[in-house]
Structure 1
């Protein structure tokens, strides 16, 4: 980590995603899928939205809200059991900032808010993955966290 700190977006609030955020959340999540060149259907958006509001499902969400009430970023996260440690950690599944809001500290504030949740819940860490070529995000990630030496594999059954 470095001591360099990006300026914080002024008048930005990070909070839990609410049911009334649906219409503004959908284009943000579509933007996330587009960035990663993933097809996303209305059915996938609907299912993810249901998970975010289902108290039994582990997926939770945060949104960054500008002073005018516009959603400008999102983060989806969940607990991740750590059997070798005998506790839970957190896993950040999705982090996205609207293109016109990048470079203003929105992503950093979403991660900082998630870090406070992790502290409250006693999580030992928060992990996430990103594409190797996602240079912009990796600059932020290198500033707020430490890259692990683990290599990710994916099995398609």
Structure 2
């Protein structure tokens, strides 16, 4: 599994994507139903929806990682950025720079689109991911807040 290739999410990835996205939800302790995954999957294939996806494939073509992203407006800078909503790598592909490859591919896509930044958040206690993120990006001084609706 030394070779990782990043490709846009496609119909052929559905079974692997389901497994990966369920693993992502389980990691964060989020109860996720098949109907929820169906909805997100439909977003990924709807050109009118903002959400897009990337898949990390191993040398055999199996999906071992995913990234979901979307454009977002940055009014203060009068620019558009890319927001990385979800990033997950299967345990068997960790430690092989799979997350780096996904983030790098998203950064390259952002450059092609003229985005000014790629931004994301992660859990404070997600030490393994933060080690990757600290290597490939710079932390911001901003805190994130939610109002549950």
Which band: TM-score by shorter chain?
over 0.9
Corresponding residue for residue 5 of structure 1: none
**Counterparts of 1:140-151 in structure 2 under 5 Å?**
140-151=132-143
Q: 2:19 matched to which residue of 1?
A: 27
Q: Tell me: higher relative CO, structure 1 or 2? Use CA pairs within 8 A at least 6 residues apart.
A: 1
Size of the aligned set, in residue pairs, is 149
Following superposition, which runs of at least 4 residues in structure 1 exceed 6 angstroms of deviation? none
Rounded to whole Å, the distance in 2 between the matches of 1:62 and 1:69 is 14
Q: How well do the aligned residues superpose, as a CA RMSD in angstroms?
A: 0.8
* Equivalent residue, structure 2, for 1:105: 97
TM (norm. structure 2) is 0.98
Partner of 2:28: 36
- Distance in 2 of aligned mates of 1:11 and 1:154: 39
Note the residue ranges of structure 2 that are not aligned, 5 or more in a row. Answer: none
Q: Per-residue deviation at 1:130?
A: 0.3
* TM-score normalised per structure 1: 0.93
Of 120, 125, 131, the match for 2:117: 125
Runs of 5+ unmatched residues, structure 1? 1-8
